[in-house]
Structure 1
Amino acid sequence: MAASAEVRRVQVVGNGEPTRITIWSDTAQDARAFLAESDGARSLILPLTGVIAPRSGDGMGGVETWALSDDTLSFALDKPLMVARVLSLPPAGNEPLYRVIIDLQTVSAARFSSVAKRDMRKLGALRAEEQKAAMNLEMASLRPDAPVVRSKRASGQKYVVVIDAGHGGKDPGALAITGGKEKDITLRAALALKKRLENDPRYSVRLTRDTDIYIEHEDRVTMARDWGADLFISLHADAAMSPKTSGASVYTISANGERRIDKEANKNNWRIPIEDGAPEQLSGILKDLVKRETKTRSAEFAEMLLPELEKSGPVLRNTHRNAGFYVLLAPDVPAVLLEMGFVTNREDVKRLQSDKAMDKSMTAVKRGIDRFFDKQDVLLAGQG
């Protein structure tokens, strides 16, 4: 853990042409400043090292207020400003403290938004690296004489995989061309995948349903979040107008779906956990980063799953697709919807209703899951 540090003073002067922020600290800081924008609110984020004391104050020259909380110094901006220069200075002469100096210039709103999008990606990557480093230190402290072990398994935890068998009960789903119902196919697939995953000590597996019952879409997402899911997979079988259409496909959240997340999260109390005491504006930015990371990880899993599916059977062209399916709306759980094939295609139905072919298909899904968490292990352990 980083040594405790103290920010002794924060000063904001100027009128935007330029505005200068100066931070005095009793330890050296890696001066990196990031612009951020969320729901029209603009801010400047400065990650710090080891600072724990919350403080706040007023600004000027386009800086409305500032707040220090949990290793982050955030500045609320009341007009678009651009970082022109960042300096990190050691103690010198009559100045016994370390200083970080940030010069800001007024820019257009469009320019600010463009840079803020870029900076939020950079800040998200930085936070991920910090989380990785913190976990490594924690692992090392448990066994200082041993090499850093891998990811969640270091503390005896397992990756939680939630498998959602689509439809069920009063909702039969699509009807197969040769007879049978989608809800039965998805349940067989879910039970088969669960069996394979449970043979691997890395995983804890939960099913949203293991019998022929109907569960509301929002309840499926809530279950996954309550179980602390690291990955959510919703299993389905597709239908098409043409009986010639066949093959598997994988869906992740679309842009339209993303626009529904906040509304449904508020409606269902899907709260993203943010450290208590964080300023409201900063909390909004951090929540946006969580949602971006979740979307990225969902897409990463989809891209790892597809090559494995191709080994087990046909897949559609443009196999990785986007949609606003409700089960993909969790703000903080990587999720995909897997269409295993088409019940309107005779060959696909034959494959979906065959125990041998289902075994092959779910083994492929298991390999995709393994690849996804293998990558998480490497990233979190820092042993890539």
Structure 2
Amino acid sequence: MKKYGWVILAAILIWLWPSFPHANAAGADLFLDGKRVEAPADARPEMVNGKVMVPLRVVGEQLGYQFKWEPQAYKISIQKNSTDMAMYVGRTSADVNGKTVSLDAPPVLRGNSTMVPLRFVGEQMGLKVDWNNKSKSVNLSQKTTTPQTDQQAESQKTSTQNTSSKQKTSATTTTTNAAEADKRTETVLSPSKQQNTEQSKANTLLVQDLTFEHDALKISLNKTATPKVFKMTEPDRIVVDLPGAALSSGFSQPFPVRGDGSRLLTNSDGTDGIQEIRFAPADGQNGGVRVVIALNQARDYELSTNSTGEITLQLRERSENPVVTPTHVEGRQIVVIDPGHGGKDPGAASVTGRREKEFTLAVALKVQQLLQNDPSFQVVMTRDEDTYPTLDERAQLANDQQASVFVSIHGNSMPASNNGKANGSETYYARQESLNLATTMHKHLVAATGFKDNNIKMANHLVTRKSQMPAVLLECGYLSNPSDEAAMFTEETQERIAQGIVDGLKEYLGTETVTTESLN
């Protein structure tokens, strides 16, 4: 009886023992300097293997960083002033100014966003980071001086002022209030240094006017300068950065500062493709001015400058799938390579949150690279970046090109109820005349992936049905299967698949004999 009494007592103690909150960051809110930062629904802060992960681009954009995404390498590059960083999805290290830095956890993809460890953001972007378990929020703040530093600054300030009073010479003061520092410096500087300061102010690059008419943004400066212009997505926008520039006080006064620190130049209901145009001083030691054209849909642009300091950015309609006139170079056969999905259509999600459109583009670009110097082929891509030609446009492009073959690259997937069991490679065709192409391409696809052979199948896919030449759709592997997916997002497997597609095309079109032995 005593033995059971101890068991009952232990159970009661466990039940009464206080439970500690579990820091689950899934769907958490994100704040920067006390202001809420909106993140995409599929890329809000979350806990991954015990590490809080935050959307890198969302945070970085608020701090003036520039980003470049290389889907074929799963690499994201980040740059601001003299800081250059690069990291890869799935790797536990990053490059920071040429040095390797370890990460608490590897970056992962969530939709179109790259999630990185919160600690890395704090250390490399100079932020103070905090996870509030009670409110389930990630709080970021740009680091400020500590109370001890403030006391030292105040002491130095007093000492410097006393020295200036006794010696009647120039002095350098330290303060945490920039406005007071400027005023004090003007008081104690010698005439020669005052002249240098005035000359420095005169040399400052100033934005004197901003206008937007007839789809053209015009920026008037007090002297010539070369802006940094780049596109961003999710949402679509064009960013114009003017490093080292400042806003002329006379110009900026009529535009009240909004809650996020920006000023609104113009806004629209979006019917003309423009949501709003905003501008603001850029963060960072070197300052600068950033102008953002928020778009309703992706647009192209033309940039021009003149000797009077005027910059013009003329918006142009974007042609996602320009028609390319068939070249029909003698001795060359036109092959159309179609990376499935793209742009607004991400395709299937993998077991680790990666997207089908990223895999298909990476493989297609490798196929293009292998064929571009081959005198037997003329390669036409339905897309070579993250855009979305419709299914009809893809097939029509192949027909307009009078192509010899059409190859659409995909990654397969099954619902979660399948528990990731489905795996393997399969090839689809829609018309009988495509059967020989399907047979040849499938043989090389299975040899390249090493996955289970799911055979050749007939299906009514629009791109293979409407293409007027032999056409196939390759389901390289299952993104919903952990083993297939892990291989599909490696450079080695993607290169093998690309080579397999090239070998299949060469065998089918008779440009090169490939024996069965070479596939083993």
TM-score range, shorter chain: 0.3 to 0.5
TM-score normalised by structure 2 residue count:
0.34
Looking at both structures, which has the greater relative contact order when contacts are Cα pairs under 8 Å and sequence separation is at least 6? Answer: 1
Greater gyration radius: 2
